[in-house]
Chains A and B, each alone.
Chain A
Amino acid sequence: MLRIRSLEAGYGKLKVLRRVSIHVSPGEIVTIIGANGAGKTTLLQTIAGLLRAQAGEILFDKQDVGRHAPEAIAFLGCALVPEGRQVFAPMTVRENLQIGAYVQIRRGHAREVESDLGRVFELFPRLKERVSQLAGTLSGGEQQMLAIGRALMARPKLIMMDEPSMGLAPLVVRDIFAIIRRLGSEGHTVLLVEQNAKAALRIANRGYVLENGRILLEQSAEDLLANRDVQRAYLGRDLDSETELDGKRR
Chain B
Amino acid sequence: MVWEPEKECMQRDELRQLQLEQLQAVLARVYMHVPFYRKQFDACKVDPDDFRSLDDVRQLPFTSKADLQENYPYGLFAVPLREVVRIHASACMSTVVGYTRNDIKTWSNLVARVLGAGGVGKDDVVQIAYGYDLSTGGFGIHYGAERIGASVIPTSTGNTARQIKIMRDFKTTALVCTPSYALLIAETIHKQGINPGVLSLKYGLFGGEPWSEAVRQEIQDKLHIVATDNYGVSEVMGPGVASECTERNGLHINEDHFLVEVVDPKTLNPLPVGETGELVITTLTKEAFPVIRFRTRDLTSLLAEPCPCGRKTMRMARVAGRSDDVLIIRGTKVSPSQIATLLGEIEGQVPPHQVVVERPGALDEVTVLIAPGESGAFDELRKQHERLAAIERRLSSELGLSINVKLVERKSVESGPRVLDKRKA
Interface of A with B (CB < 8 Å)? 3, 5-6, 18-19, 21-23, 25, 55-56, 208, 211, 214-219, 223, 226-229, 239, 249
Chain B facing A: main interface SS: helix
Tell me if B29 is interfacial: C-beta within 8 Å of chain A: yes
B17 touches A228 (CB 8 A): no
Q: CA A186 – CA B48 in complex, angstroms?
A: 39
A19 touches B102 (CB 8 A): no
Tell me if B132 is interfacial: C-beta within 8 Å of chain A: no
Q: CA A219 – CA B287 in complex, angstroms?
A: 11
B24 touches A214 (CB 8 A): yes
Q: A25 to chain B: closest CB distance in Å?
A: 8
Q: Which residue of B lies closest to A243 (CB)?
A: B82
B24 touches A215 (CB 8 A): yes
Given A23-B18, A226-B102, 6 more contacts at CB 8 Å? A19-B49, A22-B21, A23-B21, A216-B25, A216-B32, A239-B82
| Given A56-B52, A215-B28, A216-B28, CB of A227 within 8 Å of CB of B102 | yes
B49 touches A18 (CB 8 A): yes
Kindly list chain A residues whose C-beta atoms are within 8 Å of the C-beta of B28.
211, 214-216
A6 touches B17 (CB 8 A): no
A6 touches B53 (CB 8 A): yes
Q: B107 to chain A: closest CB distance in Å?
A: 13
Q: CA A249 – CA B100 in complex, angstroms?
A: 14
Q: Which residue of A lies closest to B32 (CB)?
A: A216
Q: CA A194 – CA B51 in complex, angstroms?
A: 26
Q: CA A19 – CA B21 in complex, angstroms?
A: 9
Kindly list chain B residues whose C-beta atoms are within 8 Å of the C-beta of A229.
79, 83
Give the residue of A3, A217, A223 whose beta carbon is less than 8 angstroms from that of B29: A217
A223 touches B17 (CB 8 A): no
Kindly list chain B residues whose C-beta atoms are within 8 Å of the C-beta of A226.
101-102, 105
8 A Cβ contacts from B1-56 to A: 14, 17-18, 20-22, 24-25, 28-29, 32, 49-53
Kindly list chain B residues whose C-beta atoms are within 8 Å of the C-beta of A219.
102, 285
Q: CA A124 – CA B79 in complex, angstroms?
A: 44
Q: B292 to chain A: closest CB distance in Å?
A: 15
Give the residue of A5, A55, A217, A249 whose beta carbon is less than 8 angstroms from that of B20: A5
Q: B207 to chain A: closest CB distance in Å?
A: 26
Q: CA A229 – CA B80 in complex, angstroms?
A: 10
Q: 20 A-B pairs, CB-CB below 8 angstroms?
A: A5-B17, A5-B52, A6-B20, A19-B49, A19-B52, A21-B24, A23-B14, A25-B14, A55-B52, A56-B52, A214-B28, A215-B24, A216-B28, A216-B32, A217-B25, A218-B25, A223-B102, A227-B102, A228-B83, A229-B79
